[in-house]
Structure formats: C-alpha cells, structure tokens
Amino acid sequence: MVGTRGLAMALVILLVSSALPLSLAEGSDAGANGTAPEPYGDLALDNSTREMVIAGQLIEQLQKLSKLAENKIEPIKDKLPENSTILTHYKLAEEYKERAVSEYEASDCYNSIRDSLTAMHHYKVALSGLKEAKGRGQDEWAHIRLEIERMAEYFRFVEKTIRLAENQGIDVGNLKELYNETRDAYKAVLDDLKARDYEKAKEDYETAREKKALLDGELKKVREELAYANADKIVKDFLAKGGEEIEIAQNAIEKGIENGYNVTRLQESLNAFLDVYNEAKSLAEEGKWEEALKAIPDNRETIAQFHRAVEFVLRKAREGELEEKLKDVRAFIREMSDRVQKDWKALRELKGRGINTQRAEAQLRAAVQELRTGLHLLKTEKPLGAKPHFAKALDMLRRVEEFISAHS
C-alpha cells in the first residue's frame, strides 16, 4: 500500500511541478554557499510537507478553474436539458472540489490531491462541451441541423409505408417502434442544438444515426413484403413503363442510324433490357407474379442502365424541342403561359375531387419560377443562361401534366 501511495505521489509531483514556486524545484544553492537552507528547500521537504505543498497548489488552481467554469456555465445552466453531459460533469466537478477543499482543511492532503485532480478532469470535460461548437465548426452543425430537418420527408415516407402495410395485413410492430425511437432521437439532437449543448448533441446524433440504420433495415423488410403483396400491380406497371421506353429507344436507334450516328451502346442497353422485360412478361402471362417481380431487383443494374439511356434520349429530344421553340420567344412565352393556366385549373378540379395535388402544385410553382428566371436572363441579354431554366420549366410542366393525365 505504501509503495502504491508513493508511486501516486511521484506522478502527482510530475503533473504539478510546473506550478510550484521556483524555490521548491531548485537545488540547495544557499547550502552550497555555506548558509542555512531555506525552510522549504527540496532537501528539507519530508513526504507530509511535500503533500501539503502540492495539495495547496492544486487547491489554488482548482479555485481558478472553478471560477472559470462558473462564469461560463452558470449563465446558461437553466437552458440546458437535465441530462446534459455538461451539467453532469459540472456537478461532479463541484462535488469533488468541495471534498478536496474540506480534506485539505482537515490536513488529509493525499485525498485532497486525488479529489482535486478528479474535479479538474470533470471541469475540463464540461468546458470542452461548451467549446464543441467552435471545435467542430458552426458550418458542420448547420449541416447536421439541415439534415435533421430534411428527415421530415423520410419520416413521411415511413408513415405512408406503415399505412399501406397495415392495409395489407402486414405486421408493422417493429417498424412502428423503430420509427418512434428514431424520430425521438433526432428530436433530441435538435433540442440539444437549441440549448447549445454540443457535447450532448454529438452523443445524441450518433445514437440517432444508429437508430436510423435499424429503421432502414426494418423499412426495407416491410417494403419487400409489401411489394410481394402487390406483385401483380408492380409487374404490370413495370411492363407498361418498360414497353413505352422500349418504343422510345427503338425510334431513337432508327433515327440515329438514318442520320449516321453510332447507336451501338443504346442498342446493347436495349437488348439487355429486352431479356429482362421478356422474362418478366412471360412469367406474368403464366400468372407467376412473385417470380416475375423477383426478376426486377435481380436485374436492377441492367434496368437502371437502360432507364439512364432512355432519359438521355429524352433529354436530347427536349433540348431540340426547346431550341425550336426559342426561335420565336414570344410564341414560346404565350404557349407556356397558356399551359400554366390550364394546369392550375386542372389541379383545382382534381383537388375538388379529393385528390392530393400538393406535390404537383409545388412542381407547377417551380415551373413558373424557372420561367421568370429565364425571362429575366433574356431581358439582361444572357440567352445561354436562360436556356437551362426554360428546360427545367418544360420538365416540371411535363411532370404536372403527366400527373393530371393519370388522374383524369
């Protein structure tokens, strides 16, 4: 026990030696000159005296650290949540400080030293929590806050999946539980950020991400069950859309050959997709809907590659269409204005029938904004800058009109 105590004291001396007066760290110059050594010179210090000096120095430093923490934490103490890590360490630091002072006054220097160092540790952790915002950077916290706010869309998707699955008789008990836990976890991070408890926010953010990973897994599982419960509808949609894309690709290949373009890659992509399409179609015709559905995710990359190829063809076609329309800007603006008014009227009628038109309305507003931006750039003689905005406006109008056509 004595050996352990001696080792501990040696470590403490190393830790605080820089804070001791110079006369305690120097040798006995006075003794070398033939005069009596200083009462507190190194050679005159026994263990108990050394403990008392070190304990006193630590108490002095501890009081300064306590004052610093008090000035920084007390003004915001009421704004921090009860389970704040800053408050937890601050309270522990205060408790150990009081014990260290009491033990020093009672000449229990060894325990006073130990509790002083413990108190300093907790003060350091509490203060580092306050500095976390500067340490990570306000931009990073702003990014995290924005990410959490965007989770609202994800949570709406989960809620929709839960409703659909319940209607199909699928067990969503685990999904509901994980959904509630994940939503509460992200809310806790926002509360921490509002309270500026960045140490707690960091911990809660990691917890929230872990919860979301679990939720993602359960959501995927339920979505798969939901897909198989609606295999016939999904396969029919795939075949209908795929048939339209095959026709687009075949027309593009035909025109490309006529104009001397190299269409090899598009032809290869079409051939690969046709193999998947024909397999799903054959199984569907036999009533093997689940097997037909399985063919879709099993060939996900082939399908995605073909979709990208068709989208490229359509984008080029729309660019050509836009170039043609912009040859007469006035006629183009009149056409777009008429389409916007017509689409607004159609959406109001659909809304009156109880159809949710919120997303289509947002797309139509975005189209109008893109048109305004394009017109502004034209007026300031920046036609090249205007074209991308007009292209986006056309794309948004196309989506709105597809929605209207699907619900009319």
Query: Model confidence over 236-249: pLDDT tens digits?
Result: 999 999 999 999 99
Specify the pLDDT at position 262.
86
209 vs 223: CA distance, rounded Å = 20
Task: Return the DSSP state at 230.
Answer: T
pTM higher than the cut 0.75: no
Are residues 248 and 220 part of one domain? no
Are residues 16 and 92 part of one domain? yes
Residue 171 neighbours by CB under 8 Å, 6+ apart:
none
Are residues 235 and 220 part of one domain? no
Q: Could you list the mean pLDDT of each consecutive 10-residue stretch along the chain, which spans 408 residues? A: 47 44 38 42 56 84 88 76 78 91 86 89 83 55 76 91 90 94 93 80 91 95 89 92 93 87 90 95 93 91 92 82 84 90 93 90 90 87 83 89 88
Are residues 13 and 126 part of one domain? yes
Task: Return the DSSP state at 40.
Answer: T
Domain end among 108, 130, 152:
130
3-state secondary structure of 139: helix
Are residues 102 and 220 part of one domain? no
Are residues 165 and 110 part of one domain? no
Please count the structural domains in the chain: 4
Are residues 166 and 62 part of one domain? no
Are residues 124 and 144 part of one domain? no
Specify the pLDDT at position 10.
47
Domain end among 263, 292, 318:
318
Specify the pLDDT at position 26.
39
If one counts every other C-beta atom within 10 angstroms of the C-beta of residue 316, the result is: 11
Domain end among 206, 229, 252:
229
Q: Which long-range contacts (CB under 8 A, 24 or more apart) does 309-315 make?
A: 309/249, 309/265, 309/266, 309/269, 309/270, 310/245, 310/248, 310/249, 313/248, 313/249, 313/252, 313/266, 314/248
Please say whether the beta carbons of 397 and 339 come within 8 A. yes
Specify the pLDDT at position 112.
87
The dihedral built from the CA positions of residue 277, 282, 283 and 284, taken in this order, carries a sign that is positive
**What are the residue ranges of helices labelled H in 33-137?**
47-73, 85-105, 109-130, 132-136
Please say whether the beta carbons of 390 and 370 come within 8 A. yes
- Which of these, 175, 180, 236, 244, lies nearest to 208 by C-alpha position? 180
Please say whether the beta carbons of 200 and 191 come within 8 A. no
Are residues 113 and 29 part of one domain? yes
On average, the pLDDT of the chain sits at: 82
Are residues 107 and 59 part of one domain? yes
| 124: containing domain | 2-130
Are residues 243 and 143 part of one domain? no
Are residues 278 and 306 part of one domain? yes
Specify the pLDDT at position 407.
86
